[in-house]
Amino acid sequence: AGVAAAAAAAAAASGGALKPIFFMHGFSLTPWQGTHHDWDNVTALVQQRYPSTLTFAVPLYEGLASTENMWTQARGVAKWIRARIAERPAAFADGYHFVGHSQGGLLIRTVLQLLDEHRVDTLVSLAGVQNGFFGDTALFGERFERLTATEATDLFYAPWLQSEFSVANYWKAQFVRDAYLHKNTFLPLVNSEVAHGDAARYKANVLKLNKLHAFVSPQDGTIKPWQTSLFGQYADGSLDKIVAMNATAIYQGDTFGLKTLTQRGALHLHTVADVRHAQWLNAAVFAEHVLDKLVAQP
């Protein structure tokens, strides 16, 4: 931490820029949240501290459109990022960073896995649904609010909802793991929990990262279970027992690179007390916990 703080102070004192940063917003059922404006305070902070830094808050799939199918969103965001890089390739030649919040943490990781040519230096996930979600259905609108999580599972795994609702794509019901693996058309593939033709490619693209930082607070209040943000999950067949990342099949099998990243010191899991879900978008919280992770280390 001392080295990181010193590097940040030196960069700020010199007026140097950080590598360009792409920010991905999360899920929302309202038009004024889950948009690129979620990042206004954070991008203002970056510009204040490092005035020459290029920042790009992705202006796609905003508000209600954030509920669209995750593959649709990932491919659309990948195309948008490619276009930004093509406009000024020299600015991105030395790499860039990805930062995502909530659903956006998983989405931006998926984008990275789709971009074979990427030069992402650091991926930062803030309360991201990295290993799925299974919990309070009232978060997702009136048509689901009376359903328990177990009642919602059959509905979320129906083909029509898999094709059109983002949350269904990362709904991870471990108590019916076989249904999750065979009916969920997104997360089991992104995590390579089932065999598929792109597994080696997705893993190779993750392993191009220099660093992956995943943040969450046990007091998040929204993400269920909160350990998903650190690649944990409910145990197979369980509704309440938590399994940490290093005991999961995705880690032990190194299905998309988590174990390899850990072994080379590139994966960093951060548990921070008393940060509510949306507070990761607060400039003060970002400055205290996240910003120095985007500063090049000596």
pLDDT digit string, tens, across residues 75-93? 999 999 999 999 999 999 9
- φ/ψ of 268, rounded to 5, equals -130, 120
Position 138 scores a pLDDT of 76
Position 58 scores a pLDDT of 98
Per residue in 103-153, pLDDT tens? 999 999 999 999 999 999 999 999 999 999 998 887 777 777 788 888 889
Mean pLDDT of 237-262: 97
How far apart, in Å, are the Cα atoms of 93 and each of 116, 119, 180, 292? Answer: 15, 8, 40, 21
Q: Which of helix, strand or coil describes residue 54?
A: coil
Per residue in 259-271, pLDDT tens? 999 999 999 999 9
Position 272 scores a pLDDT of 98
What is d(CA 186, CA 294) in angstroms, rounded to the nearest whole number? 29
pLDDT-based confidence at residue 13 (cuts at 50, 70, 90):
very low
What is d(CA 45, CA 60) in angstroms, rounded to the nearest whole number? 22
- Pairing status of strand 120-126 against strand 96-101: parallel
Q: Determine contact, residues 101/38, Cβ cutoff 8 Å.
A: yes
- 179-205 b/e (C-beta count within 10 Å ≥ 16 → b): ebeebbbbbbbbbbbeeeeebeebbeb
Cβ count within 10 A of residue 78: 18
> Ramachandran region of residue 294, left (φ > 0), alpha (ψ -120 to 50) or beta?
alpha
Q: Which residue has the tokens 């993400």?
A: 223
